[in-house]
Structure 1
């Protein structure tokens, strides 16, 4: 073995000294790939920065970059590759990340099972019906079929008020720098007539149908929030090209900012659904994109993000080393070059994550071993401290007796209190096994392939017995098996603020388009076998909630319906406009639609109110076991009870806005005196009874406004302007 420490020598712009170890490996790898293809191309790259926002903003401007948006101590921006060397040495930069992890779709509406039927009918203690009116349902997915009746009003006009096609590389939507926007008027004028939701069989249209389908195509099939306004961001996460320079995770963050900003302009609450995700990463929410998402959600009331847990419960993605002064190991295999998904060369790839206290006493070694015959060690790196490659690329060359069999590159990145370890092996020897050995004292976790199951990391060997006998395999009894635990998707699915949803079985039969009854071997209300399991790497309960996701009927895009009508008629529901499908992809929008109902009733609720209402009212079944747990979370969502929950923050007395409400007590009429504005500022006035039910709501511009109330009792008058300034007061009507 021949070893050297390489100080970013693969990156011409970073050849000076050891750089800031808080520069992400994904950023380094993305630049490597771009420079390898065209070293003279000083293009811009999208990234998220954390640190002193004012100083970073000045740096971006001075280096011909572009600041897209910022919140707290985070900035989403673009910078030329040539500026990254200086960026990496800034004292006021705490972290810089660019993401390249591939995202995949996680593969009806059971109105009664979620108690939404009770919400529609205003039954029980609810005093009115809720359908998502005046709430934004935002969706980040493959796109949508704007011609489907479920996404149209009674008069044929569209319910889609905005569509951002991120895949349009020829357009430039400011401030994001890419993609094309279609307004509601554009869509009604036919601008999207030829648009096809083609990715993964019209995945986005099916997801939108679960959350917000209007039931125009068939009265039995409508979404949870059939009157919500719809905003869609179309993304194609199945194609990851480093040269596109906007990696998938940053597409997601941009999309969330776009939807929330659009909702703010309309002064409406918004819930966003993301039914896609990957499996790699730290699984603790410490990455900068997730921190940015958390900050965007917390910035204002009336915001929520919901995501699917994933469909990986039956895949052994996860491995954990608990090392106690011994030596443990696992094997992984090489993977062939894949130009369709990961854009990686042939070789072996692995990543591990651990907390600071758990990695400081660990050492690792990587060896190349023959598989046939088992299991001669050709060469090895020897044991090195886990943190030896912190902020620098370490390179080891492995040989057989004559030739190079692999070049091992390692890099350690600091992510808040977490350390991330990345290993890449450049090799043409696809028949070799790569042994990862670890010794010392501590704990690390890793997530891996196969490629077909949402990973660009290599595949584990599932059992040493598949390779050889104990007498052939060194340290046989210390082989660590991969497991099915912690299979929740990474990044935002492990966020503290994003609601992660698992799936349960819905139905045992369906009447198809030809009136045949189709039966299914399912257990209604039980967790679907594919629904991913928690917890997060730092031990938090995920998923939080369960919803309808296996054997559900939902909207389908027109081209998908045409294909199914000829070859898969047994999947089409009566009327031929909907079909049956499975996945946590469709459990998440069920929850997002219910959150839209909650926001209609409680538009001032924040994410803590939403989560509290959801988990404290969830339905528990005896077969779920002790609750909460990492299979069912806190139970099945219960829309009726959730809407009855009154947010802790009904603000009886709040004043960040000058206003006057009189008389108090009043006799049937309240007068609201608003501050004078030269610009005809808009104000939303809402009146709530003590159950939290909105009895009056209107957007006004006049300085004096009169409200008539027929009911007697105590009410909270809540006023909010376009800047987010608020005023509320408790009044009594006699």
Structure 2
């Protein structure tokens, strides 16, 4: 029998030791003060979430592995736009070849723009009769233009100068997500916001389930809440913004919202998946699930319990779309290959967090040091220590029941320069290092992988690492900040990069995410939002359009459609790659059977159209701080 570790408990008792198994299970359960839940792995390979006080002894005997919940965080906001971006410096002339009935709009920054030729109206609403539309740009410095199109998709061959794709083409597919369910696993929703109001006055939200209170509201109850004005179920505002982006893309889809607890964990997310899958089956309708959250703890290879849960529930008409993460500009992943002697992992820390090392191809002993104070653990050992004013909880598990690899996990609130020394004690193990910390308080000083474009490889978060999800990165897509302006059309600096630990390309696709117009919870207005949290619902909306046409598509079929139709330009480069995946998410009408006519909304001034002219850095900073209050707060045990 193995000892308890920070990941969980492996139970290897003989059949006659069933009582011991239950006692060990209960010991782990009562040691977890922040949660009433445990994630479990059963003998038959299923995973689940249980409350030991409500689970039968017979059911507990079938558990072979338990794991305490891991805190997860909502991903920061980014931006969304459409069509193409054109960048330049100084006076410039170019043209776009237009078609009869095409409707264009132009957003400009840093330049005055005039036009002539095949279109009439104003720059914000051009109606074209077909033929060249000529633009004259007057500027003495750098400038940016975003050209949006309804009625016909713009391709690079239509533009006489270098352009970069931004948009998805959703408005031109002729689909609106009718009869499709969209599951939103997030912080809740403001039911009263006009973004969720159908033309007939009814709500787009079909069900709202509050996981913390175990209360479900149906559409009739939701309408009553709206009528009474008691309708803001989103104190963070994140879920309202996410759901709003989906509604831009798939305006006729019905929303099924799961409100997570404020101090959410991955166990909560797993329970949300169960609820949504049951709802999809009860209603007999296809569902796409949007997950704009994640964490950087676990094997990152598809074998974590939350990834197993997704694979367990995935199937025809049930597709999960996940944000790749916003750690692309941070040194939170490192790799050491073929360790034959010893190596040091250096970390700078400003607060509490988790250092999670996974190793294969051999075994190792780990040593955690703060100055001259050190704590070591060999495979199978669990240690705790107090170094002056900080604490350390260190576990070295080999083999992990999740994947057979080794896992050295260190939970600490020590600050300053930290060192993890690794010693090979068998074979030549390869080591993958992941950092997850409160308020981005930790970062690697060595062994990180520079991607050559200002970011870092291997930074994709769990559960975007699952092979059974569509993972989404973000591109800079508007003018909400100086950084997005300079980076327009390219990968957003914060967008997490692949690969997964087992070498798979992530993300599958990228979409506009720097900046998107999103609804504000508690207000009847919108704001500019940035993050893979908001490029992800763009793609979830596209999946809803696909499911409208074919309700039986599974994640593999959806992946094939998205990757085969993704747009490539000079920013994307050769595909697939670990920044852009297979390219920029796009749906031509032929990819959505029955499509081909304009969707009737979302034109040049429609929701999600771009704008971002009123972006406020102060608002972004305040929102970021608010969202990060939901980040991991690990319980650090101190030695008495």
Verify same fold: TM over 0.5: yes
Q: State which drifts further: 617-626 or 106-115.
A: 106-115
What's the CA shift string for 1:409-466, capped at 9, x where partnerless? Answer: 5444614434242444779x7668444223351201121144213x8xxx35526xxx
| Counterpart mapping for 1:631-642 below 5 A | 631-640=579-588
Tell me which of 519, 531, 536 is aligned to 2:500.
536
Tell me which of 345, 352, 357 is aligned to 2:357.
352
* Alpha-carbon distance in 1 for matches of 2:11, 2:557: 50
The answer to whether the 8 A contact 1:163-1:182 is kept is yes
Change in CA separation of 1:415 and 1:101 when aligned onto 2, cut-off 3 Å: farther
**Residue 343 of structure 2 aligns with which residue?**
328
TM-score of the pair, normalised by structure 1? 0.60
Change in CA separation of 1:158 and 1:692 when aligned onto 2, cut-off 3 Å: closer
Displacement of 1:522 = 3.6
Is 1:235 the equivalent of 2:205?
no
The answer to whether the 8 A contact 1:486-1:536 is kept is yes
* Alpha-carbon distance in 1 for matches of 2:532, 2:554: 24
**Residue 150 of structure 1 aligns with which residue?**
195
The answer to whether the 8 A contact 1:121-1:129 is kept is no
The answer to whether the 8 A contact 2:457-2:578 is kept is no
Change in CA separation of 1:520 and 1:102 when aligned onto 2, cut-off 3 Å: closer
**Residue 76 of structure 1 aligns with which residue?**
48
Change in CA separation of 1:267 and 1:331 when aligned onto 2, cut-off 3 Å: same
Displacement of 1:258 = 1.7
Tell me which of 604, 607, 630 is aligned to 2:578.
630
The answer to whether the 8 A contact 1:46-1:250 is kept is yes
The answer to whether the 8 A contact 1:146-1:193 is kept is no
Is 1:194 the equivalent of 2:190?
no
* Alpha-carbon distance in 1 for matches of 2:288, 2:149: 18
Change in CA separation of 1:184 and 1:413 when aligned onto 2, cut-off 3 Å: farther
Displacement of 1:260 = 2.7
The answer to whether the 8 A contact 2:10-2:401 is kept is no
**Residue 115 of structure 2 aligns with which residue?**
none
The answer to whether the 8 A contact 2:173-2:587 is kept is no
**Residue 504 of structure 1 aligns with which residue?**
475
TM-score of the pair, normalised by structure 2? 0.69
Is 1:319 the equivalent of 2:334?
yes
Change in CA separation of 1:28 and 1:521 when aligned onto 2, cut-off 3 Å: farther
The answer to whether the 8 A contact 1:105-1:276 is kept is yes
Displacement of 1:288 = 2.2
Specify the SS of the correspondent of 2:273: helix
The answer to whether the 8 A contact 1:508-1:523 is kept is no
Specify the SS of the correspondent of 2:255: strand
**Residue 395 of structure 1 aligns with which residue?**
383
Displacement of 1:128 = 7.7
Change in CA separation of 1:364 and 1:597 when aligned onto 2, cut-off 3 Å: same
Displacement of 1:111 = 4.4
Displacement of 1:500 = 0.5
**Residue 537 of structure 2 aligns with which residue?**
589
Number of aligned residue pairs: give it.
507
The answer to whether the 8 A contact 1:140-1:233 is kept is yes
The answer to whether the 8 A contact 1:161-1:231 is kept is yes
* Alpha-carbon distance in 2 for matches of 1:85, 1:438: 42
* Alpha-carbon distance in 1 for matches of 2:196, 2:387: 61
Change in CA separation of 1:10 and 1:30 when aligned onto 2, cut-off 3 Å: farther
* Alpha-carbon distance in 2 for matches of 1:436, 1:497: 35
The answer to whether the 8 A contact 1:380-1:398 is kept is no
* Alpha-carbon distance in 2 for matches of 1:452, 1:229: 34
**Residue 307 of structure 2 aligns with which residue?**
290
Displacement of 1:317 = 0.4
Displacement of 1:234 = 0.9
| Counterpart mapping for 1:608-619 below 5 A | 608-619=556-567
Is 1:494 the equivalent of 2:465?
yes
The answer to whether the 8 A contact 1:282-1:420 is kept is no
Displacement of 1:280 = 1.7
Structure 2: state its 5+ residue gaps. Answer: 17-22, 86-101, 105-147, 155-168, 451-455, 597-640
* Alpha-carbon distance in 2 for matches of 1:132, 1:582: 24
Tell me which of 22, 31, 35 is aligned to 1:35.
31
Structure 1: state its 5+ residue gaps. Answer: 21-26, 53-72, 169-178, 213-222, 241-247, 338-347, 371-376, 464-479, 511-517, 562-576, 647-690, 695-734
* Alpha-carbon distance in 2 for matches of 1:644, 1:163: 34
**Residue 462 of structure 1 aligns with which residue?**
445
* Alpha-carbon distance in 2 for matches of 1:226, 1:609: 23
Change in CA separation of 1:293 and 1:105 when aligned onto 2, cut-off 3 Å: same
Is 1:366 the equivalent of 2:367?
yes
The answer to whether the 8 A contact 1:141-1:236 is kept is no
**Residue 519 of structure 2 aligns with which residue?**
555
What's the CA shift string for 1:684-708, capped at 9, x where partnerless? Answer: xxxxxxx6779xxxxxxxxxxxxxx
Specify the SS of the correspondent of 1:48: strand
Specify the SS of the correspondent of 1:204: helix
Select the structure with the greater relative contact order (CA < 8 A; seq sep ≥ 6). 2
Specify the SS of the correspondent of 2:276: helix
Change in CA separation of 1:111 and 1:415 when aligned onto 2, cut-off 3 Å: farther
Displacement of 1:29 = 11
Change in CA separation of 1:119 and 1:296 when aligned onto 2, cut-off 3 Å: farther
**Residue 445 of structure 1 aligns with which residue?**
432
Change in CA separation of 1:19 and 1:258 when aligned onto 2, cut-off 3 Å: same
Change in CA separation of 1:251 and 1:79 when aligned onto 2, cut-off 3 Å: closer
* Alpha-carbon distance in 2 for matches of 1:404, 1:229: 49
Tell me which of 301, 321, 331 is aligned to 1:306.
321
* Alpha-carbon distance in 2 for matches of 1:323, 1:98: 31
| Counterpart mapping for 1:246-261 below 5 A | 248-261=265-278
**Residue 607 of structure 1 aligns with which residue?**
555
What's the CA shift string for 1:83-142, capped at 9, x where partnerless? Answer: 899988x5x655444422333333275344699999985999999821111111111111
Is 1:105 the equivalent of 2:75?
yes
The answer to whether the 8 A contact 2:392-2:410 is kept is no
| Counterpart mapping for 1:4-43 below 5 A | 7-8=3-4, 34-35=30-31
Change in CA separation of 1:185 and 1:193 when aligned onto 2, cut-off 3 Å: same
* Alpha-carbon distance in 1 for matches of 2:52, 2:528: 47
Change in CA separation of 1:507 and 1:423 when aligned onto 2, cut-off 3 Å: closer
* Alpha-carbon distance in 2 for matches of 1:596, 1:279: 28
Displacement of 1:601 = 1.4
What's the CA shift string for 1:316-336, capped at 9, x where partnerless? Answer: 101212234231112346775
The answer to whether the 8 A contact 1:504-1:546 is kept is yes
What's the CA shift string for 1:146-201, capped at 9, x where partnerless? Answer: 11112012232211110001233xxxxxxxxxx2111100011127732434443x
* Alpha-carbon distance in 2 for matches of 1:288, 1:190: 36
